[in-house]
Amino acid sequence: MKISVIGAGYVGLTTAACLAQIGHDVFCGESDLEKLTKLQNGVMPLFEPNLEDVIKAGRKAGRLHFGSTEDAIAWGDAIFICVGTPPLANGDADLSAIEGVARSIARHASGYRLVIEKSTVPVQTGAQLQRHLAAHSRNGLSYDVASNPEFLREGSSVEDFLHPDRIVIGVDSPRAENLLRQIYEPIIHQSFSCPVHTSCPSRKNPIFLATDTNSAELIKHASNSFLAMKISFINMVANLCEVVGADVTKVAQGMGLDPRIGPSFLNPGIGFGGFCFPKDVQAFIRIAEKSRCDFSLLREVEKINQRRVEHFVEKVRKELWVVRGKKIAVWGLAFKPNTDDVRFAPSIALMKALLDEGASVRAYDPEAMEKAKSVLPNITFCSDPYDAAEGADAVLIVTEWDEFRQTDWKRLRSIVDQPLVIDGRNVFSPEGISRNGFRYISIGRVDALPSQPPADEKIDAALALAGNTASEVVA
């Protein structure tokens, strides 16, 4: 099928590349000329694992094209809207980019088109789109509007698109439903040749769930808000563990064994960030307020999250006594591993707090330093974790990149000024770190003092309990 994708951000690019991969003829439109030129010249405007290969394959096969929004609109029988919906100052989603695309579709498209909202939008946006298209259309345009929320995680968006748990569509006509089934047919039956996985993570066929448009729109906001609530819940439990001397890892493990709760999204830390959770929770609160439904539960979720960075800074203060003049190494800037995205990353608020208190900060991130430079001008960006830790009074772990799990503790011990690690993501087991001569402070667990190596068997038993292997945590 000929398909248009409007917007070449994380969602749009992944959607365009993967739809080309499963056999469609895709035209992706982008209004930012710098980004468009990069894409037309085969240069990636963002880092996302596997995406570059899928884009290359699509272009080589002649099934993936990049150009202007207008050219993209003229192309497809189905048009996926994947433009940004950033938060306004009051928490509402800014829908001006969606409105702009709807206006262009109304003006430039003719014949029948299926218009699909994939960007995260407030409930009833589909109905607004319908009205807008009706009011502005020329050239005998006829259309259906559908919702098809994305559940792509940055860092694994290609995998999530090709091997999803579920595909949700919101439709108000059988024609729209049939078209969307046709578009996703190879994914529904997992019948395409997977470009990136030699053994695919999940060959299970996804559930295809068709609802009305309003319900599909709500599914997206409700899912993200629920996951954010899970994270804030475990962060609150972590605070309690710190006070009473319990271990949040064990508590989360025990909770997660109940299938009604499940083990995922129970990792405590320095808080959730990124361009989805913070803005989606805010937008959902606003939707509820406007509908006069009391959703103060989500206000608490937000508040708990906002306090995470301050809670972490308090740990730094407690350890360093005076922060002014101290050298602090920050490992990780991206809001999570395997992405270069620093939007709403906890690292930004953390760094600002440390600088405000007069610390000097040396930071390292495997992928996110370029993007961080524009938002954090007053820190030193380093070439690797050891460079960042040179002469440090404390090493702070802010993003759980795999690279940090390979730390050479002997080397680190020889270059830091104080052997102190404060871990905002519980990457290591306290026993392993303290055995390497470091004081180790983490989230929701008892602080670990540097210790002499105990007998190997004892360490192995301790690590097994912590759910890690010796090679992961001990140099």
Tell me if 307 contacts ligand UDX by CB under 6 A: no
Label the pairing between strands 64-67 and 142-147. unpaired
Closer to ligand UDX by Cβ: residue 154 or 159: 154
Tell me if 276 contacts ligand UDX by CB under 6 A: yes
Of the ranges 32-40, 181-189, 274-282, 355-363, which one interacts with ligand UDX (CB under 6 A)? 274-282
Query: 398 and 364 in contact (C-beta within 8 Å)?
Result: no
Query: 384 and 364 in contact (C-beta within 8 Å)?
Result: yes
Closer to ligand UDX by Cβ: residue 152 or 350: 152
Closer to ligand UDX by Cβ: residue 46 or 105: 46
**Rounded distance between C-alpha atoms, residue 175 and residue 154, angstroms:** 32
* Three-state SS at 208: strand
- For residue 365, give every residue at least 6 positions away whose Cβ sits within 8 Å of its Cβ, in sequence order, or none: 331, 332, 333, 334, 372, 399, 401
Tokens at 371, concatenated: 């993007």
* From 84, 206, 273, 444, residue interacting with ligand UDX (rule: CB under 6 A): 273
Alpha helices in 149-212 (DSSP H): 157-162, 174-188
- For residue 335, give every residue at least 6 positions away whose Cβ sits within 8 Å of its Cβ, in sequence order, or none: 272, 273, 274, 341, 342, 343, 344, 345, 346, 347, 399
Q: How far is the CB of 130 from ligand UDX (least distance, A)?
A: 24
Of the ranges 151-159, 289-297, 384-392, 462-470, which one interacts with ligand UDX (CB under 6 A)? 151-159
Q: Which amino acid is at 150?
A: E
Of the ranges 49-57, 201-209, 270-278, 414-422, which one interacts with ligand UDX (CB under 6 A)? 270-278
* From 4, 104, 137, 224, residue interacting with ligand UDX (rule: CB under 6 A): 224
Of the ranges 147-155, 197-205, 325-333, 349-357, which one interacts with ligand UDX (CB under 6 A)? 147-155
Q: How far is the CB of 272 from ligand UDX (least distance, A)?
A: 3
Give the per-residue contact string, 336-355, with ligand UDX (x = CB under 6 A; - = no): x-------------------
Annotated catalytic residue within 28, 82, 241, 276: 276
- For residue 251, give every residue at least 6 positions away whose Cβ sits within 8 Å of its Cβ, in sequence order, or none: 237, 241, 444
Query: 154 and 274 in contact (C-beta within 8 Å)?
Result: yes
Closer to ligand UDX by Cβ: residue 224 or 249: 224
What is the Cβ-side half-sphere exposure of residue 96, based on CA atoms within 13 angstroms? 4
**Rounded distance between C-alpha atoms, residue 147 and residue 125, angstroms:** 9
* From 125, 137, 225, 267, residue interacting with ligand UDX (rule: CB under 6 A): 267
* From 265, 295, 381, 386, residue interacting with ligand UDX (rule: CB under 6 A): 265
Q: How many residues bind ligand UDX (CB under 6 A)?
A: 18
Tell me if 154 contacts ligand UDX by CB under 6 A: yes
Nearest residue (beta carbon) to ligand UDX: 276
Q: How far is the CB of 125 from ligand UDX (least distance, A)?
A: 16
Find, among 394, 379, 371, 249, the residue nearest to 312 by Cα.
Answer: 394
Active site residue 200: no
Tell me if 47 contacts ligand UDX by CB under 6 A: no
Tell me if 150 contacts ligand UDX by CB under 6 A: yes
C-alpha distances out from residue 347 to 55, 126, 336, 354, Å: 30, 35, 10, 10
**Rounded distance between C-alpha atoms, residue 285 and residue 288, angstroms:** 5
**Rounded distance between C-alpha atoms, residue 268 and residue 263, angstroms:** 12
* Three-state SS at 204: coil
Closer to ligand UDX by Cβ: residue 154 or 393: 154
Closer to ligand UDX by Cβ: residue 309 or 474: 309
* From 274, 332, 424, 432, residue interacting with ligand UDX (rule: CB under 6 A): 274
Query: 395 and 329 in contact (C-beta within 8 Å)?
Result: yes
Tell me if 335 contacts ligand UDX by CB under 6 A: yes
Give 201's DSSP letter.
S
- For residue 370, give every residue at least 6 positions away whose Cβ sits within 8 Å of its Cβ, in sequence order, or none: 340
Q: How far is the CB of 155 from ligand UDX (least distance, A)?
A: 6
418-457: contacts with ligand UDX (CB under 6 A):
none
Q: How far is the CB of 278 from ligand UDX (least distance, A)?
A: 9
Binding residues for ligand UDX (CB under 6 A): 150-154, 224, 231, 265-267, 269, 272-274, 276-277, 335-336
Catalytic residues: 276
